[in-house]
Structure 1
Amino acid sequence: MPAELDRLLPRLADRRAHLAAAGTTFCRLAHTSETAGLFALDRAGRVGVLSLYADLSAGQEQLLAAACARLGLESVYLKRRPQEARHAANVERERLSPPQPIRGEVQEEVTVLESGVPYLIRPGPDLSIGLFGDARPAREWVRRHAPVGGRVLNTFAYTCGFGLNAALAGAQTVKNLDLSRKVLAWGQENYTLSGLPAPDHDFLYGDVFDWLGRLQKRGELFELVVLDPPSFARSKVGVWRSERDYARLLAQAAAVTAPGGQVLALCNHAGLSAGQFEKMLEAGAAQAGRRMNITDRFGAGEDYPGAGHLKVRALRLDPGG
């Protein structure tokens, strides 16, 4: 394994070298499609995040981390990703995502760039480190298409990457909505890195469906709504499954989307085909009485070859009738 990796990893890293020249220091150096499904390697500046999708011995993990470090990484953090991670991530957090690096010195926080925009990455204690690299094209889309002087709603905001790009593009009002106060505060730190104001009233804590209903009752409308839900989530109001509930989500989002406004809808459920996803979007628009036109279709970034899990659709919603 080490000899093969010593040939493979530098070649893969060379393919991504142009990203740094374009102002991107956060990328996937090796995707699972390039490693026979064994592992993936992400670069966050000078820190590597090694995700394992197979059980390896402690010695094999060390050899793999050493091979990764030879790409100029000062530290390598390990993420063990089980087939069924929802429960294990809660009860085995420290085993799945050790807070200490498997190689190199502790780096609790790293500031990275994506197309010149800085983001704060925390590579240690959680499986999620602050930014999902496969959504880079979607964040770039928001940067190009956010309404200048308009209003944007970023749901399931996580650390607010979409909202940040909308604000940088010139949107006048950007609301970031998430069920975790912790990640919203992280998002405010990302705003600060770009020199943007981050008032608390633009970072909404709570359930997305509850907030969409409240915003609708207030008569608030947005020229762009971003939908980036997890495949599965549990909250006080119930269980969310994207393969079952996405149509309902779009219907509620449509109710707060201005006439002729846009929705950027993301789905990362690998078991849901692109065709099935689009049918759910059509059903949601119909429920809301809106005419839907898909204006753009794309997926994960160039450093995710062969990845079909992420489906991104840009929609324009016109009044029905």
Structure 2
Amino acid sequence: MNREINLKIKSKHVNKYKNGYPLIFKEAIINIDDLHKEGTIVKLVDEKNQFIARGYYGKQNKGYGWVLSRKEKTKIDRKFFEKKIISALNKRAAFYNNPQTTVFRVFNGEGDGVGGVTIDYFDGYYLINWYSEGIYTFRDYIINSLKKLIEFKAIYQKKRFNTEGKYIDEDGFVLGERGKFPIIVKENGVKFAVYLNEGAMVGVFLDQRNVRKAIRDKYSKGKTVLNTFSYTGAFSIFAALGGAKKTTSVDLANRSLPKTIEQFSINGIDYEAHDIVVEDVFNYFKYAVKKNIKFDMVILDPPSFAKSKKYKFSAAKDYKNLLKEAIAITEDKGIIVASTNCSSFGMNKFKGFIDTAFKEMEGKYKLMEEFSLPKDFGTIETFKEGNYLKVVFIKKIK
């Protein structure tokens, strides 16, 4: 049983928590020195010791833990987690019945009532991501609930917090029958090779499903496509299957070459008809300008933070300049797919970056359509930061 302590909240933040804000953040806490062991149940109280909410202490980059209930009598036990998982599974029932898409998110952290943990489905395999040592202390409740509620080939996990040598898994395997990797999953009929047993990333970012579909179905036919920060080339695969004349995938990581070749190959596409470039994206932009290479479509999906030998990139500070680089090598009437997963700003500010970039380049543009997280990535209204994905399709007029 995880012990409980009272966590005193500064008066100016009390209403925020009463209104449903889920993240326990440092600036709100009066007695922060009382927090010692992650996984401790915390009872949030006001300065008169009146109950506000109950949650847990778990440090991650976003804060010091998460609110789990605003009902005073709620017990944080196995039944609590089981109810949350049942609710999440019910919301995704339709996803299980789609043979064209066999990969999706089953549980989306605070969007499903428990911040700090996500669960993804990969054609019978489940992957749990733990984002703090605090939430990891509840692992038995969550894993046993899954074991009771679902049929699975196997359950894997990734500990996405600094373990300092503790809790190290060889390959993340938890239960079931070990997978033979890669496992092949489908998204809107397109195949992905997925590795649940390697590092933090599995081979595809599930939150871009609707964006990839739009690229394939509406934008890529007959086009030359540049996919920057391409990772395993997922956008390139969808563009190629949508009839793109040629795709060019650029990523600094050496692994991007074999991984992208693999994704092309399992979809029956001749990867040699496309360019896969292991290069710093910023250097590639300069190369394209120098050689006067332009594209009908440029896809920008950088990490929120990136670092190479020569460059540091922060989406909040540098996205506007990245857009200017893309504008310079996009054909007139071409499309720029501008995407960011940075949670520190919203869609309006992102559109401001777009507007400023075009003004500074003395260009004109038209916003075609925009995307945020798909339905399986459920979010809550009281935590805007949770709806982090912002994607805008921009037509460059001149």
TM-score by length of 1: 0.90
Structure 2 match to 1:85: none
* Number of residue equivalences: 312
Structure 2 match to 1:99: 171
CA distance in structure 2 between the partners assigned to 1:200 and 1:181 by the alignment: 20
CA distance in structure 2 between the partners assigned to 1:210 and 1:200 by the alignment: 23
Q: The residue matched to 1:73 in structure 2 has which SS? A: coil
Distance change >3 Å, CA 57–CA 4, structure 1 → 2: closer
Structure 1 match to 2:74: none
Stretches of 4+ moved more than 6 A in 1?
none
Structure 1 match to 2:275: 202
Match of 1:222 among 283, 295, 298: 295
Identity of aligned residues (%): 24
Q: What is the Cα deviation at residue 178 of structure 1? A: 0.5
Q: Which has the larger radius of gyration?
A: 2
Structure 1 match to 2:17: none
Distance change >3 Å, CA 14–CA 93, structure 1 → 2: farther
Distance change >3 Å, CA 284–CA 59, structure 1 → 2: closer
Q: The residue matched to 1:181 in structure 2 has which SS? A: coil
1:112-158 Cα offsets, whole Å, 9 max, x none, are: 11011110111123111111111111111211223312201110001
162-171 or 180-189: bigger deviation: 180-189
1:30-65 Cα offsets, whole Å, 9 max, x none, are: 111103314211001111111123424877323322
Structure 1 match to 2:120: 42
Q: The residue matched to 2:213 in structure 1 has which SS? A: helix
Structure 1 unpaired stretches of 5+? 83-87
Structure 1 match to 2:349: 276
- Correspondence 1:61 to 2:139: yes
Residues 256 and 278 of structure 2 are in contact (CA less than 8 Å); yes or no, is this contact kept in structure 1? no
222-231 or 282-291: bigger deviation: 282-291
Structure 2 match to 1:28: 105
Distance change >3 Å, CA 216–CA 21, structure 1 → 2: farther
Residues 110 and 122 of structure 1 are in contact (CA less than 8 Å); yes or no, is this contact kept in structure 2? yes
Q: What is the Cα deviation at residue 287 of structure 1? A: 2.7
Higher share in helix? 1
Aligned counterparts, 1:1-321, within 5 A = 1-22=77-98, 23-32=100-109, 33-56=111-134, 60-69=138-147, 70-82=149-161, 88=162, 99-107=171-179, 108-199=181-272, 202-306=275-379, 307-319=386-398
Distance change >3 Å, CA 207–CA 94, structure 1 → 2: farther
Residues 100 and 106 of structure 1 are in contact (CA less than 8 Å); yes or no, is this contact kept in structure 2? no
1:136-191 Cα offsets, whole Å, 9 max, x none, are: 11111211223312201110001111000000000011111111121231121111
Q: What is the Cα deviation at residue 94 of structure 1? A: 8.7
CA distance in structure 2 between the partners assigned to 1:156 and 1:64 by the alignment: 34
TM-score by length of 2: 0.73
Structure 2 unpaired stretches of 5+? 1-76, 380-385
Q: What is the Cα deviation at residue 5 of structure 1? A: 3.1
1:199-251 Cα offsets, whole Å, 9 max, x none, are: 28610111111101111222221111110000001101121111111111111
Q: What is the Cα deviation at residue 303 of structure 1? A: 0.5
Q: Which protein, 1 or 2, shows the higher relative CO under an 8 Å CA cutoff with sep ≥ 6?
A: 1
Q: The residue matched to 1:224 in structure 2 has which SS? A: strand
The CA RMSD over aligned residues, in Å, is 2.2
CA distance in structure 2 between the partners assigned to 1:211 and 1:293 by the alignment: 26
Distance change >3 Å, CA 133–CA 97, structure 1 → 2: farther
Amino acid at match of 1:21: N
Residues 339 and 389 of structure 2 are in contact (CA less than 8 Å); yes or no, is this contact kept in structure 1? yes
Q: The residue matched to 1:196 in structure 2 has which SS? A: coil
